[in-house]
């Protein structure tokens, strides 16, 4: 299994006339790898996994694995708020030869820490496949606490954690309880890549990497190499672009950015709606200032 580290991208799922655009997906994957991206994460939040059908998720994961051809890690989005459905999704990721599955904490149900522990251990016992837990309380209304992460690591139920609380004290606690190399520590926040890596992180699963993959790779390499002054310059340089990727609900802005680069359509699946004209102009301006586009 490729190491789960470095600059990874939570890749968008291109849509065209309501259907998944596999041709554009293949081209996006190839571009990402050419730009130095270390891992591709299909069917996550940014990939609109929650509104893809099971058959579409299978198509997207299969196409990604085939396009990557072992040149980078593939972590397939496979979460659900129903444990039995998450098990089936992780089984699918395993059958399609992904390297690992990204499993978000069950949303809406608001399980206790014991429920979270049992959720991930049930998946592990049923599938025996590498699972990266995904903690994003702002979307799920539940927080996977360090004590529970430590229990899951000890049980061998997870191999990594995508942590999206933007809380560096949380990351220090995780390293304290599990060890720096006890799990693959992956940031889920583009805003805090440098401090996260400085606190023991191994990399990021990025949104902005969809449009600025080389810049994100350079930031991660500098931070992991201890060149913190250089990394800070790169983190600050990405600041406006990062903010624009969340000016509306993700993945609306980043899909707009991908479309502005001419790499896929900006189409979203309901209930997500296209970004407003005003915000599209702001996204375009930020991309121009960053050097991703020229003025029309």
Q: In the prediction, which pLDDT does 3 show?
A: 84
Q: Per 3-state DSSP, what percentage of the chain is helix, strand, and coil (rounded to 5)? A: 50, 15, 35
- With 90 as the cut, is the pLDDT of residue 120 above it? yes
Q: Strands, E, within 98-180: which ranges?
A: 100-104, 131-135, 160-163
249-295 per-position pLDDT tens digit = 999 999 999 999 999 999 999 999 999 999 999 999 999 999 998 87
The band of 18, judged by pLDDT with boundaries at 50, 70 and 90, is very high
Q: In the prediction, which pLDDT does 294 show?
A: 82
The pTM of the full predicted model, rounded to 2 decimals, is: 0.96
Chain centroid to CA 87: 20
- Which residue in the list 120, 134, 196, 234 is annotated as catalytic? 134
The question of whether 162 is a catalytic residue gets the answer: yes
51-102 per-position pLDDT tens digit = 999 999 999 999 999 999 999 999 999 999 999 999 999 999 999 999 999 9
- Average pLDDT, integer, range 7-19: 97
Contact, 125 vs 89, CB < 8 A? no
143-167 per-position pLDDT tens digit = 999 999 999 999 999 999 999 999 9
Structure token digits, residue 47 = 């990939």
Q: How large a percentage of the chain has pLDDT more than 90?
A: 98
* Helices 168-178 + 146-155 axis angle, to 10: 30
The CATH number of the domain covering residues in 6-225? 3.20.20.70
- With 70 as the cut, is the pLDDT of residue 2 above it? no
* 3-class secondary structure, 15: strand
Contact, 48 vs 269, CB < 8 A? yes
- With 90 as the cut, is the pLDDT of residue 178 above it? yes
Cβ of 209: how many Cβ atoms within 10 Å? 32
Q: In the prediction, which pLDDT does 220 show?
A: 98
The question of whether 234 is a catalytic residue gets the answer: no
* Every domain of the chain and the residues it spans: 6-225
Q: In the prediction, which pLDDT does 296 show?
A: 63
- Which residue ranges make up the annotated binding site for pyruvate? 46, 205
- Which residue in the list 94, 117, 120, 162 is annotated as catalytic? 162
């Amino acid at each position: 299994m490729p190491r789960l580290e470095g600059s990874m991208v939570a890749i968008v799922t291109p849509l065209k006339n309501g259907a998944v655009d596999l041709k554009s997906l293949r081209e996006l994957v190839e571009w990402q790898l050419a730009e130095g991206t270390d891992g591709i994460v299909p069917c996550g939040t940014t990939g609109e996994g929650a509104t893809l059908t099971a058959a579409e998720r299978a198509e997207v994961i299969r196409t990604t694995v085939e396009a990557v051809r072992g040149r980078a890690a593939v972590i397939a989005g496979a979460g659900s708020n129903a444990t039995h459905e998450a098990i089936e999704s992780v089984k699918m990721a395993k059958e399609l030869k992904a390297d690992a599955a990204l499993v978000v904490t069950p949303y809406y149900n608001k399980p206790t820490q014991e429920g979270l522990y049992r959720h991930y251990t049930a998946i592990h016992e049923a599938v025996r496949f590498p699972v990266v837990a995904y903690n994003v309380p702002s979307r799920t209304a539940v927080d996977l606490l360090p004590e529970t992460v430590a229990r899951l690591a000890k049980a061998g139920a997870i191999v990594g954690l995508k942590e999206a609380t933007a809380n560096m004290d949380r990351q220090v606690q995780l390293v304290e309880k599990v060890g720096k190399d006890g799990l693959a520590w992956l940031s889920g926040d583009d805003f805090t890549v440098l401090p996260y890596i400085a606190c023991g992180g191994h990399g990021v699963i990025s949104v902005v990497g969809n449009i600025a993959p080389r810049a994100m790779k350079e930031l991660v390499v500098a931070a992991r190499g201890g060149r913190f002054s250089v990394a800070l310059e790169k983190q600050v340089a990405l600041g406006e672009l990062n903010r624009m990727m969340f000016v509306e609900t993700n993945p609306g802005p980043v899909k707009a950015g991908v479309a502005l680069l001419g790499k896929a359509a900006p189409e979203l699946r309901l209930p997500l709606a296209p970004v407003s004209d005003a915000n599209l102009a702001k996204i375009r301006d930020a991309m121009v200032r960053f050097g991703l586009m020229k003025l029309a």
